[in-house]
Amino acid sequence: MQQTGYSQIGIIGAGAFGSAIGQSLTRAKTQVLFYDKDPTRTTTGSIEDIVKTCEVILLCVPSWEVEYVANEIHKHAHPSNPSLVIATSKGVVKGFVTMDQLLASHLPKHFAIGVLGGAMIAEEITQQRPANGVLALSEMSYFEPLRSQLAQAKLFMQPASDTKGVALCSALKNVYTIALGMSDGLRLGLNAKGWLAVEALTEMRRLVSQLGGDRYIVDTIAGLGDLMSSSFGSDSFNYRIGKSLSEGIVNEHVKSEGLVTLSELSHKIKLTDYPLARVIEQATFHYGKPQKLAELFSIIA
């Protein structure tokens, strides 16, 4: 393992986020191998090539594709060739399985795993603006060389060992981003939006703790910072979903990590204990009125 960084980094999934990260690393003189289902975005022949040549692999695919990719990595792994695999997805899969759990259960035991969270909007990264994240790793010896390498690409990382907390925080942030989009769609104003943001963070702390993470992570860039960057602009898909709900524009076939997380969350915990999450769930899946957001101001004191 090189202390000055890694000679080659693999990126599986060359969509908007994967491409943005890869281009930033390439500008910083890191060799990047891309693999994507779209051959026009691919620079290597297979996932096997990435597994055999890269010490660090970033999975930049939607959460519902992570299990398949992890199984493909496992298929080509060799005990003499350990790697760090980092999930950048901000969601869960059926059974409310988080990204850290998914990687740990589907990758070889000699692999290290990581979860990346934080305020990292793909468009801004592409524009060479700085981005900030929390990188939670099961093996912290990888952190310092990777932190230095990413910093050269204007991707600034804070360390964490709580992979569960970061994974939960990233997924739940997408749920509450829907609420703040709903607020803007209803034109409730910035005073209301500020109040809703505080309530979102309060519920996120309780949920992260209840679901097995450390609630402190909610107050970092992985929680508060990511919620703000996603909710005070139109770049976030989950924000646009919330705004569209309030404007009466509903597409029942749309899929997002926030929607999947919310659906799975409703089977995991009692949503009646979380009033804001309950309003989002009702408006999203049960034709509830987004206007119920405004009623929370008098209910929660």
Which residues carry out catalysis? 173
In whole angstroms, give the CA distance from residue 236 to residue 121: 8
- DSSP classification of residue 270: -
Instruction: Name, in order, each residue with C-beta under 8 angstroms of 259's C-beta and a sequence gap of 6 or more.
Output: 178, 238, 241, 284
Helix (H, G, I), strand (E, B) or coil at 253: coil
Per-residue DSSP letters for 184-228?
HHTT--HHHHHHHHHHHHHHHHHHHHHTTS-GGGGGSIIIIIHHH
Q: What is the DSSP string of 46-99?
A: -HHHHHHH-SEEEE-S-HHHHHHHHHHHHHH--TTS--EEEE----EETTTEEH
CB under 8 Å to 6, separation ≥6 — which residues? Answer: 30, 54, 55, 56, 145, 146, 149
Nearest alpha carbon to residue 269 among 219, 218, 206, 217: 206
CA gap 76, 253 in Å, rounded: 35
Cβ atoms within 10 A of the Cβ of 192, count? 18
What Rg, from alpha-carbon coordinates, does the chain have? Answer: 19
Joined tokens for residue 80: 């003499």
Residue 251: which region, alpha, beta or left (left: phi > 0; alpha: psi -120 to 50)? beta
